[in-house]
Amino acid sequence: MTEEKILIDRETLKAIASDTRLDILKSLSKRKKTLSELSKVLDLKSPTIKEHLDHLINSNLVLKEETESKWKYYSLTDKGSKLIKPREIKVLISFVVSFISTLGLIGLYLIKYVFSSSKSMMASSDSIASDMIMSKSIEETIMDTASQTVSQEISQAPPMIISNTSNNTEILMIIAIGILLSLTVFSLILLIKDKQKRKKECVSVID
């Protein structure tokens, strides 16, 4: 999937060179606002905001909505939205992907190492119990136990390379789970910060 490119001409570059104009664009990315609302949110005088808005309108980043109402709203154009919002979308996608990947890897780890080991332990205990019940004499029990011990020692003597490979795979899975959990938490923190920023802006506008 190719990422949509945004062409930045000289006027656009001059428009976004100001921190105040970038703050205006970020504020309008939440919702459309009037001049007085932007003045309250950014804690700047209305004439200053108006001057910056004119630059943004000339650069086709902001649109002034012409309505019959005395309140004139300013909103982002398509060009302005594409310039501001890609980061938020990428953070959200990163959070979803890392969260799903973490759940999948944890599930695979549980199935491969936890559930399988518990099943093998139950199977071995059932096998020993059935052997003890079916034994007819102490001698036969001793013989059966001895033969089981010998067979277990033979079966449990695989090459060290296989054992080490299994242990290394388990360690790598644990490390991968830790990394994915860290990415998930980091993405979640970014999303929470953006949400808190929006709430503060809404409260300041209401006040």
Q: Where are the domains of the chain?
A: 10-84, 87-202
Give the integer Cα–Cα distance in Å for 63 and 60.
Answer: 7
Q: What is the pLDDT of residue 204?
A: 44
- Count CB-CB contacts under 10 A for residue 29: 16
Residue 161: predicted pLDDT: 47
In the block, tokens 């093998």 appear at: 120
Quote the tokens at residue 64.
């002034």
In this predicted structure, what is the pLDDT of residue 80? 84
pLDDT at position 207 is 47
Determine contact, residues 95/59, Cβ cutoff 8 Å: no
Number of Cβ within a 10 Å radius of residue 87: 10
Residue 158 has a pLDDT of 52
User: Global pTM?
Assistant: 0.44
Rounded Cα–Cα distance for residues 38 and 33 (Å): 6
How much is the pLDDT for 74? 93
**Domain 10-84 annotated CATH 1.10.10.10:** yes
Per-residue pLDDT tens, the chain, 207 aa: give them.
Answer: 444 455 566 777 787 888 899 899 989 988 899 999 999 999 999 999 999 999 999 888 999 987 777 788 999 988 888 777 655 666 667 777 777 888 888 888 788 777 666 655 665 555 555 555 554 455 555 566 656 664 555 455 455 444 566 677 778 878 888 888 887 787 778 767 766 665 554 444 344
